[in-house]
Amino acid sequence: MDSCKFSMFSSLCLIIILMVVSGDENAQLLLVKEKVSLLSFKSGIVLDPEGALASWNSSNIHVCNWTRVKCNNSSSQIVQLDLSGLSLRGRISPALANLSSLVILDLSRNFFAGHIPAELGYLSQLRQLSLSWNLLEGKIPFELGFLHQLVYLDLASNRLASDIPAPFFCNGSSSLEYIDLSNNSLSGEIPLKIDCALTDLRFLLLWSNKLVGHVPQALSNSSKLQWLDLESNMLCGELPSEIVRKMPQLQFLYLSYNDFVSHDGNTNLEPFLASLVNSSNFQELELAGNNLGGQIPPIIGDLSTNLVQIHLDENLLYGSIVPHISNLVNLTLLNLSSNLLNGTIPPELCRMEKLERVYLSNNSFYGEIPAALGGIPHLGLLDLSKNKLSGSIPDSFANLSQLRRLLLYENQLSGTIPPSLGKCINLEILDLSHNEISGTIPSAVAALRSLKLYLNLSSNHLQGPLPLELSKMDMVLAIDLSSNNLSGSIPTQLGSCIALEHLNLSGNMLEGPLPASIGQLPYLKQLDVSSNQLSGEIPQSLEESPTLKQLNFSFNRFSGNVSDKGAFLSLTIDSFLGNKGLCGTIKGMPKCRIKHAYHSLILPILLSLFATPFLCVFLVLRSRFRRQLAIFNQGDLEDEEKETKELKYPRISYQQLIEATGGFSASSLIGSGRFGHVYKGVLQDNTRIAVKVLDSKTARELSGSFKRECQVLKRARHRNLIRIITICSKPDFKALVLPLMSNGSLEMYLYPSHGLNTGLDLVQLVSICSDVAEGVAYLHHYSPVRVVHCDLKPCNILLDDDMTALVTDFGIARLVKGVDESSTSKNDSVSFSSADGCLCGSVGYIAPEYGMGKQASTQGDVYSFGVLLLEIIAGKRPTDVLFHAGSSLHEWVKSHYPHKLDLIIEEAMLRIAPSAMPAYCNKIWSVVIVELIELGLMCTQYNPSTRPIMLDVAHEMARLKQFLSNPPSLLIEEEEASSKVGAS
């Protein structure tokens, strides 16, 4: 009996052992299978620019250690594969379907082409699938409908076409929370049937496709929906009132640019707006570009007070604006343009004190512009153009300190231009054209230096001379004063409008000569002075202009010879009609008579006889002046040495620095430059320091640089400037002791080491650039001794523990004494030379005027900051562009602006945006990227006087930082939802 039991026990043990061995073998086989699958996937990659998949090789046994691969702790099976944002090129291998335990698959923000493998539909455990921002094409495989555990699905921004497969939405599972198929070419109807219940759906983004039909009734089952974006399709029918009524958590609703109509035969908008009243967190409503008819009902004022944007433009709405709309006290944008609205503009709009942009153009509003609009403190854009408004422009607009764009053209406005508009110091566009405005152009308005885009006062009844103050508009791109009654001469000072590209003075009563300075404008493309009473010869400078493309001199009193060369090469007689005194080689123009030229030799001879004595006197005076200047400079040097001796620092001995840095060992070295080396160390009190040691071989040559940096760091105190702890100076050793910045420099984040993923996102980069702008603005305008940094670049921007940026390395800074806030660019500079061995900046960041021997100025720092902005967005070192494209970074970016920016924006988003970013962030970030490009281009303009000052740059960066730091509350909720998916 006992032997029988023993035999049975032995058999059972053997079976268990065999099962365990078999289980181990199966597990090993599964791991091998997953490894083979990843290697198969890698074989389909034709380009891995970052070398991210270098660790994926057969010799590396443990796939769980491979880059961007995560495994389950217990089974060691792959549960997450995140290869987002690596710029990979190739095709997606079907072998990924063998990763049977995969929960997260993220291949977004790459350049994968070809079709989506149908085999991905067999990843039964998959909860998050993101293939967005690639080049995928073809159909969406219906097999993806088999993914019953799927929570997050993002196939946006590809080239997918054909219909959305029915199982995609109706697969018997209600687990989907996020669906984004936007920005493709999908067609057909939205395949959501009445028996489909996506009860957990919170985000549905289908914008920019070719979808047709009605919004499916089954969507009303998605009562948790917060974000519905169907914009830019071909959907039709009545607005989906009954559907959205059952979405109390709805926050964002985008239905613009479809073919929707309102209720009751397209006459009643009230039922739809009533269906949104119970959505207490509602924030944005976009219904633009449909065929919506009816009036704006008073119930619009009963929508959530959280509402910040309303877009009802480009519809068929009629009637007046109901004053009840002013209940929406948090509204920042109101767009009712391009409708059939009439009546007067209600002054109650001023109750919406957070309004920033108001568009009421292209309607039939009449009456006067309410003066109350001048009481909206944050108003930055007001567009009342193309209406029937009358009366004068309110003086109260002077209170709009944030106003950037004022568009009042094509109305029936009368009176004069209020001089108080000159107080709108941030105004970039002023368009009052096609009205009945009379009087002169106020000098205060003509002196608006803030105008960056255009000034249009054409087609009015303005009279009087052109104000000399127009010359202060040194950043404006276009000036149109045509079709008025302006008289007098054209001031030569207009040549100071350096950025001007278009100038139209036609249809006035201007007389006298055309100034040669107009032809010397470096960017002028179009000039029209026709139908005036101008006389004299056409300046040679216009013919020699390398930029002029369109010219019109017709119907004036010009005389003299006109050639068909240079800028005149492509002109025809039509550009010169009505000038009887002109002759030349233009076809249709009378030939010029040949005159004897012998008398032209007499004047130069006489001038030379009289000029010789004056030249001798000038040389003698110049010699005396140079001697006085040498004495003056010597006094300045003595003063500087005296100031340096007066500076006092905490005492840290040379021996303490040796101990702190391990004898300045190689292991402590953290950086090198043309001035020497930087070492990290720890003092006895545990203070972490960085020691900047000047190279002993050049210490004597750079002693001036060392003193200068000591002066700057000691006197300048600002949260965004590196502070000095102490100095150590001996005859053969000079060092600066600074706090150690644990996060290194911006350089290492823009160009991370091979294989490291240390990039910064746009929010962080804007914050860093804002810090830098604040620090440099302090140096330029508020420091006890004004400072020009002269070497602003990524490696001279350090980041502390909180990622706050600090500007450092003042070795070649220039101290500017006696500069007040109102100083001009001429006074805001000091002379420099390279006699002390210091070049004024680094290649690629040096302002072009420095290369021509000009003075170092604050505008040079603005140029370097602009290069920094363009470098961050373009992802290119300025030297890379210089050596490969043969042009500056400014020229390279400007060649893409504004119509070829898509590729730059797309590549920037791949580098500085997190993976699986929602659609609304794409829109916001794209806008910010464009604004950074525009600011960078403004800062890097060739002429220093056209660049903004650093205070304005800092203000603009602070505005962008604020814009990004307060995104819609939905962004936080979505990130939380995404993190929950990843954790599960």
Cα separation, 971 vs 924, whole angstroms: 12
569 Cβ contact partners less than 8 Å away, ≥ 6 residues apart: none
Cα separation, 404 vs 963, whole angstroms: 16
In a 3-state reduction of DSSP, which class is residue 862?
Answer: helix
SS (H, E, C) 885-899: CCCCHHHHHHCCCCC
Give ∠ CA 68-71-76 in degrees, rounded to 5.
145
Helix-then-strand count for the chain, H and E: 19, 54
Cα separation, 873 vs 960, whole angstroms: 14
830 Cβ contact partners less than 8 Å away, ≥ 6 residues apart: 788, 814, 815, 816, 817, 855, 856
**Residue 755 Ramachandran class (φ > 0 left, ψ -120 to 50 alpha, else beta):** left
Chain position carrying tokens 């990924």:
96
Cα separation, 167 vs 781, whole angstroms: 64
Q: Determine if residue 680 is labeled as part of a ligand binding site.
A: no
Q: Is 131 exposed, middle or buried (0-12, 13-18, 19+ CB in 10 A)?
A: buried
Measure CA 698 to chain center.
Answer: 42
360 closest CA partner among 323, 329, 386, 396: 386
Measure CA 702 to chain center.
Answer: 39
| Residue 710 identity | C
Specify the DSSP element, H or E, that contains 625.
Answer: helix 602-646
- For residue 691, the cross-strand partners are 679, 737
Cα separation, 543 vs 538, whole angstroms: 9
Cα separation, 739 vs 681, whole angstroms: 10
Q: Is the dihedral of CA 571, 573, 579, 582 positive or negative?
A: positive
Buried/exposed code over 428-440 (b: 16+ C-beta within 10 A; e: otherwise): bbbbbbbbebeeb
Chain position carrying tokens 């995104």:
967
154 closest CA partner among 108, 200, 192, 113: 108
- For residue 797, the cross-strand partners are 807
CB 721 within 8 A of CB 778: yes
Cα separation, 61 vs 59, whole angstroms: 6
Cα separation, 818 vs 823, whole angstroms: 10
- For residue 550, the cross-strand partners are 526
With both helix axes pointing from N to C terminus, report the angle between 919-939 and 762-781 in degrees, rounded to the nearest 10.
30
Cα separation, 831 vs 814, whole angstroms: 9
In a 3-state reduction of DSSP, which class is residue 508?
Answer: coil
Has 902 been annotated as catalytic? no
Cα separation, 865 vs 772, whole angstroms: 8
The pair of three-digit structure tokens given for residue 791, joined into one six-digit string = 């070497």
Q: Is 592 exposed, middle or buried (0-12, 13-18, 19+ CB in 10 A)?
A: middle
Specify the DSSP element, H or E, that contains 868.
Answer: helix 858-874
The pair of three-digit structure tokens given for residue 760, joined into one six-digit string = 């910064």
Catalytic residue among 106, 154, 229, 791: 791
Q: Which segments are annotated as binding site for ATP?
A: 692
- The residues assigned a catalytic role are 791
Q: Which segments are annotated as binding site?
A: 692
